[in-house]
Amino acid sequence: MTDQTSTIDAATIDPETNYRIVIARPATVAGIKLRPRGDITLRGDLLKILITETPDVVLSIAAVA
């Protein structure tokens, strides 16, 4: 997993790829409630929305093979 010390650029995310993410606090994206515990995997299109709406929530991302 790649730690991001700066804001993650939504333009670099592939909407068709799944990403494992770590979040700093609870968040909601497209009606899905996310909690900062356990494994969280999102499609790229949902991750882009999350980053655009709440850029400070996502701490790190990693593409899932």
Residues of the chain with pLDDT under 50: 1-5
- The amino acid sitting at 13 is I
List the structure tokens of 25: 């606090």
Non-local (6+) Cβ contacts of 9 within 8 A are: none
Predicted TM-score (pTM) of this structure: 0.85
Beta-sheet strand order (sheet of 2-3): 2-3, 58-63, 18-23, 40-43
Whole-number pLDDT of residue 6: 56
The 3-state DSSP composition of the chain as helix, strand, coil percent (nearest 5) reads 20, 35, 45
